[in-house]
Amino acid sequence: MKKNIIIFVLCAAICAFPAAVPAAYAASAPEVSAKACVLYEPEGGRWLYEKNADVRLPMASTTKIMTAMVALRLLELDEVYTVPRDACGIEGSSLYLAEGDRVSVRDLLYALLLRSANDAASALAILACGSEEAFAAEMNAEAARLGLTNTHFINPHGLDAEGHYCSARDLALILAAAMEDERFVEISGCKKYTVQLEERAQVLYNHNKLLHLTDYALCGKTGFTKKSGRCLASAAVRDGVSLISVTLCAPDDWNDHIKLFNFGSDRLERKQVITESDAFRVPVTGGTKEELLCRPSQDFFAVTEKDGAPPTREVLLPSVIYAPVRQGDIIGVLRIRDDGKVIGEICLLAGENIEYKEQKRPALLRWLKEAVFGK
């Protein structure tokens, strides 16, 4: 009991560090239990909440987000492999793989992301690269490609190891990158899955309770070791706005994430900025019409600040448009800015045909021609 009290006091002191929050939000920023955390809006690249965001910390099984991302790139989902000896008997959460088991990459990924099976992580690493060490090198190469500076992997499962760390900001960017693959979102957002191993079946339940506690949680990954404390990286979609929250060493992580998602959704909204039916008219030279009707090639939606100025539209066109013009021709670009930042560019297409019109010669030129050459 005395030991538990000491641990609780230490965690409370750690989690009391002040948060770095954008000035506009500071007055209403939530209190969170995490030692380090971020709230990130990936579409616009907004950091809505930061607390020790760039501090290097152990991240436990949230490591498996990168493991899954690399495995999905290197392995085929439906490929079936024989489990090697080195992937068996890994400590911690487990699928209880036995040497010689035949299992698909798909089943290993569900075990990795739902049950957080460490033996599944080792199996994927060995099958993809021959060893955990070689796979960790591939994970670090992927981190470098993402431009991460506070991340380093030693293993694919996240068990404590010297030099194995990540920051809350980097982990948010890793989750954002992983979510670009719809297979990752589908698997890590699944609540229940059954794995069939030889003659035994195992039912897996997702450790991410946010999937059950809310109707807006999309996917994510949990993690815990005594050294790291409770870790959680999660994604949510509320009213069309995607948000990613990461907490490291967070005794009250579920509530931390709910508070952060509420905080973000209170400030952001998704608006339609451009519709295909919007019309623009531009001058035309040498045509049967003097103006050309143009329309955007597609609708455009943007995540914006609820209390901020609306996005602006800038029409980029050539100085002169010459006939003939065919409907569907690309005429120019419609550039959308939010708070000065370019958030999208949409092609402007000709909405009609305009034929070339032969110009009549002035009367004097006709008279001279007739005088010299005759009628």
> Which sequence positions are flagged as catalytic?
61, 64, 116
Cβ neighbourhood burial of 131 (10 Å; 0-12, 13-18, 19+): middle
Q: Is there a cis peptide before residue 324, judged by omega within 30 degrees of 0? A: yes
Helix axes 118-129, 64-74, angle to 10 degrees: 40
Rg (CA), the chain: 29
What tokens appear for 339 in the block? 């708070």
Strands 80-82 and 280-283: unpaired
Q: In one letter, which amino acid is 293?
A: L
Query: 93 near 61, Cβ under 8 Å?
Result: yes
Instruction: Measure the CA angle with vertex 108, ends 103 and 111; round to 5°.
Output: 125
Q: In one letter, which amino acid is 73?
A: R
Report the number of secondary-structure helices (H) and strands (E) in the chain: 10, 16
Measure the CA–CA gap between 310 and 338, rounded to whole angstroms: 7
